[in-house]
Chain A
Amino acid sequence: MKLDTLTLENFRQFRDGSIEFSTDPDKNITVIHGQNGAGKTTLLNAFLWAFYEDLQSVKRPDRLANQGEMAAVNVGESVSVSVELTFEHEDSYHRVRREHAYRKTDDDDLAGERIESSFTVEYEQEDGSLTTPKNPDAYIRQIVPKDLAGLFFFDGEYISDLSGIDNQGEIQDAIRQMMGLTIMDRAIRHLDTVEHNFRDDLQKYASDDLKELIQRRNELDEKIQSLEQKQDDKKKEKARLREEVSDINRVLDGLDETQELSQTRSEKEDEKKQKQAEISEINQQIEQEVSKHGFLPFILPAIRETAEDIDELREQGKIPSELDNEFVEELLTDGHCICERPLVEDSDPYEAVSGYKTDVSASGLDQAAIQYISRLSHVNENHDQFFETVEGLVDERKGIEEEIQNLTEEIDNLSTKIQDLTDEAGLTGLEEEVQGLSIDAQTSPSDLESARSEKKEQIKELERRIGGLDTEIDNKKEELADLEDEISEAREEAHEAEVAKYRMHAARSVKEELESYYKRFQDTVRRRANNRVDDTFSKVATKNYEAQITDEFKLRVVDSEYKNPIDVDKSRGERQIASLSFIGSLVDVAREQYEEKDDAEYFTGGIYPIVMDSPFGALDSDHRRDVSLILPELADQVTVLVTDTQWDGTVEEAMSDRIGCEYVLEFDENGGPDDMPVTEIAERGLEVTH
């Protein structure tokens, strides 16, 4: 930023006037002379008001309008107050104007009531046209952050406080903002919060459930395998027993005494098996019938009720009763009446139904009712048919069951007969055959039959166990399927946790990278500022002192005579010089950063002017000279507001070669309208003598 002009209108004691700032790099000082009360501080405040509408350091901020003008206008009329600044920023012309209008409310009203306010910012574009930013406040704050304003527009009498403990925090913040470190600082802080949020997500999704579920699934798998193995063993055992029974049957079939009984029994057993298969088939048919038409008994009452209601409506004439031609046509085409009678062309029923056709079209509702009733009669028929079918199948099954019962009794009788055969009926002639089997060679037919019965019982028991195992395996498999669903869900959650972990890691990595960069850059800034402060300070310091900027960006003055520098009790002069050096160093570093612009996109730095009210404060002559030596070096553009007392011969002599513009604030206590005080701005040498 390079200041061009400042123009005031009715701003406090200034009715009008403007200042043109020196932009000559060799004569970069603009001096504004003014006695105490002439308006030097008001001029300084004009910058802050124009940029930020800040009136914090103004006494009676309610009396912004020029009192003479307020006194001169009539009640109800208004006075316009404005400050306009023009400056160059990044090679582009800028104009900033803040304006308020105050209306006089009564004869004694010198403050006025604010009725209008405006803030205008415009700047020149590359094509030379002027444009207005969307958010003028934000735009100005980007050029000169408000927090930094205190470093560039300040009252020199208080500048020595810059090295005071109380102001260090403010200075540190200002430096951070000036160097663009604020963005990085905020990013680091916010990324820390983001990292914690992702950590919360991780903890929300992460659990040991998946591991436990997988463990349970594996155990269940093993259990099912074990049950299947057990079932397989039982099946093998059953097969073995069946084989043994078959062997016994073969022996019994080979004996004269048992041959007929055994063979008959085998036939009966085959027949029984056949009947049992028939029962299974009937059971399947019943099952199919129930699943297909089983709903009918439950809905029929509701259907009947609906049919009755519709019929009643028809009887009452609420639904027209004429038959729809289309419906009659459908019945004739289908070849079946609603009573299921076949409708064959040229037959009586066909002719009867055909006779229902009328010339009058039935209404849509009538048509629907007829169709509905027709379908209801079908439902009724289906219902009856369902019961007939099921009852028929049940009867059939009952008959077969009786046959099975009879066969079982016959088989039992045959078995008893074989069992009752005397031991004399040995196994003569079959010894060799028996030896090859899993039965005792000395056994009699009676014993063989006993063994057969026993094995049959064992087979039944095995079948019962195999069935039990079947149920158990099915249950476990169902449990396994549920567990697989749970695992799938847990796996998704585990992935969510994994994603959160990656995001947390990303937030942390970026944060750490920024922290490292922040530290490196901060060190660079501090080192540059330190060199500059010391350089400036050592040029003018009268004692063997050094000015330093600490790692925390604090300013301190140390005695360099000691090997380990110690803080010294700074005099006001040293403090003032150190503080100005400090500001100068920051302006310098910001400018360097701006000119280089290669360190980082976000550390842009900037070019800043310095406007100081009373830079020499109450310093003695020696220190005034020292300060006047360093002032031109502080920034590209320096404006100082001074009293004649401060601007003594030593200072004038030291600075004369660097002065580009010089003004005088001419204060007249009764020079304004209605004898109110007024200050006029005049170029030095052109001032009016009152």
Chain B
Amino acid sequence: MTDEADDLEINEDALQRIQNGVLDAEETQLSYRKPHDIIPELETIIEEEIRPEDVPRATEE
């Protein structure tokens, strides 16, 4: 299986929501005096927009 992902089609609205969610999270993070690990938060934002049922199943036969 290749990790080349250039040919994948992802809904533009979903990408826009991810972008807004990420920037909001970063802005909130900046207001904290003791920043937390933001990576899991960003991963969750993406996971909520790209759910397993949204991804087509590969046909390999």
Where the two chains meet, the residues of A that have a C-beta atom closer than 8 Å to any C-beta of B are 135, 137-138, 141-142, 182-184, 186-187, 190-191, 193-194, 197-199, 202-203, 206-208, 210-211, 214, 491, 494-499, 501-510, 513-514, 601-602
Give residues 5-61 of B contacting A (CB, 8 Å). 5-6, 8, 10, 14-15, 18-19, 22-23, 26-27, 29-33, 38-39, 42-43, 46-47, 49-50, 52, 54-58, 60-61
**B15 in contact with A504 (CB, 8 Å):** no
Q: Which of A141, A206, A497, A505 lies in contact with B10, CB distance below 8 A?
A: A505
A-B contact pairs, 18 of them (CB 8 A): A183-B30, A184-B23, A190-B22, A190-B39, A190-B42, A191-B22, A193-B39, A202-B3, A208-B1, A211-B60, A499-B50, A502-B55, A503-B47, A505-B8, A506-B46, A508-B5, A509-B15, A510-B19
CB A503 to nearest CB in B, in angstroms, measures 5
Query: A507: which B residues are within 8 A, CB to CB?
Result: 42, 46
Q: Once the chains bind, are A207 and B1 in contact (CB under 8 Å)?
A: yes
Residues in chain A near residue B47, CB distance under 8 A: 503
A142 to B3, CA, bound (A): 40
Question: Given known contacts A141-B31, A513-B19, is B43 in contact with A506 (CB within 8 Å)?
Answer: no
Q: How many A-B residue pairs have CB under 8 A?
A: 108
CB distance from B46 to the nearest CB of A (A): 5
Complex formed: what's the CA distance from A191 to B41 in Å? Answer: 11
Inter-subunit contact A510/B18 (CB<8 Å): yes
Cα distance, A137 to B32, chains bound together (Å): 9
**CB atoms of B58 and A187 under 8 A apart:** no
In the complex, A601 Cα to B15 Cα: how many Å?
Answer: 17
A501 touches B3 (CB 8 A): yes
Pick the 5 closest A-B CB pairs, nearest first. A505-B5, A206-B1, A138-B31, A183-B26, A505-B8
- A499–B52 contact, CB under 8 A? yes
Residues of A within 8 A of B23 (CB): 183-184, 187, 601-602
Q: Contacts A501-B3, A503-B46 known; A495 to B55 CB distance under 8 Å?
A: yes
Q: Which of A142, A190, A495 has the most CB of B within 10 A?
A: A190
Whether the Cβ atoms of B8 and A602 lie closer than 8 Å is: no
Question: Which A residues touch B57, using CB under 8 A?
Answer: 491, 495, 498
CB nearest to A495 among chain B residues: B57
Q: Which residues of B contact A508 (CB under 8 A)?
A: 5
Given contacts A197-B43, A499-B50, A505-B5, 20 further A-B contacts (CB under 8 A): A138-B32, A138-B33, A142-B30, A183-B27, A193-B39, A194-B39, A194-B46, A491-B57, A494-B58, A501-B5, A502-B5, A502-B10, A503-B43, A503-B47, A505-B10, A506-B50, A510-B15, A514-B19, A602-B23, A602-B27
Give A147 Cβ to nearest chain B Cβ, in Å: 11
Minimum CB distance partner of A138 in chain B: B31
The residue that B15 contacts in the complex, of A198, A211, A513, with Cβ under 8 A, is: A513
* Nearest Cβ on chain B to A2's Cβ, whole angstroms: 22
Q: Do A506 and B14 touch (CB < 8 A)?
A: yes
Closest to A205 in B: B1
Partner of B58, one of A184, A498, A505: A498
Distance (whole angstroms) from the CB of B36 to the closest CB of chain A: 12
- CB A161 to nearest CB in B, in angstroms, measures 27
| Contact (Cβ within 8 A) A503 B60 | no
User: Does the CB pair A499–B55 fall under 8 Å?
Assistant: yes
CB neighbours (8 Å) of B49 from chain A are: 506
A495 touches B58 (CB 8 A): yes
Inter-chain contacts of B32 with A (CB < 8 A): 138
Instruction: Kindly identify which residue among B1, B26, B50 contacts A502, using a CB–CB cutoff of 8 Å.
Output: B50
Q: How far is the CA of A499 from the CA of B23 in the complex (A)?
A: 23
A501 to B9, CA, bound (A): 11
- B52: chain A residues at CB < 8 Å are 495-496, 499
Contacts of B55 in A (CB 8 A): 495, 498-499, 502
Closest residue on chain B to residue A206 by CB atoms: B1
Q: Which residues on B sit within 8 Å (CB–CB) of A207?
A: 1
Q: How many Å from the CB of A246 to the closest CB on chain B?
A: 47
Cα A506 to Cα B22 with chains together (Å): 12
Which chain A positions have C-beta within 8 A of B26? 183-184, 186-187, 190
List, in ascending order, chain A residues with CB within 8 A of B14's CB. 506
Nearest A-chain residue to B25, judged by Cβ: A187
Whether A137 lies near B33 (C-beta < 8 A) is yes
Bound together, the chains give a CA A198 to CA B46 distance in angstroms of 10
Chain A residues with CB below 8 A from B54, complex form: 502
The residue in chain B whose Cβ has the minimal distance to the Cβ of A513 is B19
Given contacts A183-B30, A194-B42, A499-B50, contact A510 B22 (CB under 8 A): yes
A202 vs B55: C-alpha distance in the bound complex, in angstroms? 14
Q: In the complex the two chains form, is A502's CB within 8 Å of B31's CB? A: no
- Across the interface, which residues of A come within 8 angstroms of B39, CB to CB? 190, 193-194, 197
Q: Which residues from chain B contact A514 at a C-beta distance below 8 Å?
A: 19
For B5, list chain A residues within 8 Å (CB).
Answer: 501-502, 504-505, 508
Q: Using A194-B46, A197-B39, A495-B57 as known contacts, say yes or no to A506 and B31 having CB atoms under 8 A apart.
A: no
| In the bound complex, CA of A305 to CA of B51 (Å) | 61
In whole angstroms, what is the CA distance A206 to B22 when docked? 27
Q: Which residues of A contact B61 (CB under 8 A)?
A: 214
B8 lies within 8 A of A501 (CB)? yes
* A199 to B4 alpha-carbon distance, docked (Å): 10
A466 to chain B, nearest CB (A): 33
Cα distance, A441 to B54, chains bound together (Å): 77
Identify the closest chain A residue to B47 (Cβ): A503
* Contact of B60 with A502 in the complex, beta carbons under 8 Å: no
Tell me the minimal C-beta distance from A604 to chain B in angstroms. Answer: 10
Tell whether, in the assembled complex, residue B38 and residue A497 are in contact, meaning their CB atoms are under 8 Å apart: no
Q: How far apart are the CA atoms of A309 and B9 in the complex, in Å? A: 75
List chain A residues, Cβ under 8 A from B42.
190-191, 194, 507
Give Cα A202 to B5, complex, Å. 11
* Nearest opposing residue in chain B for A496, CB measure: B52
A82 to B13 alpha-carbon distance, docked (Å): 52
Least Cβ–Cβ distance between B59 and chain A, in angstroms: 10
Closest chain A residue to B11 by CB distance? A506
Per a CB cutoff under 8 Å, which of B8, B22, B50, B60 touches A210?
B60
A137 to B, closest residue via Cβ: B33
